[in-house]
Amino acid sequence: MSDDTAHARPAETYAEVEDALLSRWPETKLEPSPDRIRAFTELLGEPQRSFRVIHLTGTNGKTSTSRMIEQLLARSTCAPAASPARTSSG
């Protein structure tokens, strides 16, 4: 704990609470720069290096694309453990 927070007094008025909250870094203001993401994944032990995955995103074509990828992997040495098309609830 820093010296400022160790000796901080509780807010006594609505205005003090509002001022304290507005002076904080906004929780919705994220800056996921490559350097910050890299540092975060290093803290986690770089899980992206131990788990092989193909991640599909977007509005259209995910099912068709995942089925094509599944067929390609099934014919290769990297047979998929599960197909997103089979595990999807929708």
Q: What is the pTM of this model?
A: 0.40
Whether residue 87 is contained in a domain is answered as no
Query: Percent helix, strand, coil in the chain (nearest 5)?
Result: 50, 0, 50
Whether residue 8 is contained in a domain is answered as no
Whether residue 22 is contained in a domain is answered as yes
For residue 66 the two structure tokens come to 């995942």
Q: Which residues of 20-44 are buried (b: 16+ CB within 10 A; e: fewer)?
A: eeeeeeeeeeeeeeeeeeeeeeeee
Tell me the Cα Rg of the chain: 23
For the chain, the domain total comes to 1
Higher pLDDT, 57 or 25: 57
For position 4, what pLDDT does the model report? 53
What is the extent of the structural domain holding 18?
13-80
Whether residue 85 is contained in a domain is answered as no
For position 89, what pLDDT does the model report? 47
The backbone torsions φ and ψ at residue 52, rounded to the nearest 5 degrees and listed phi first, read -85, 125
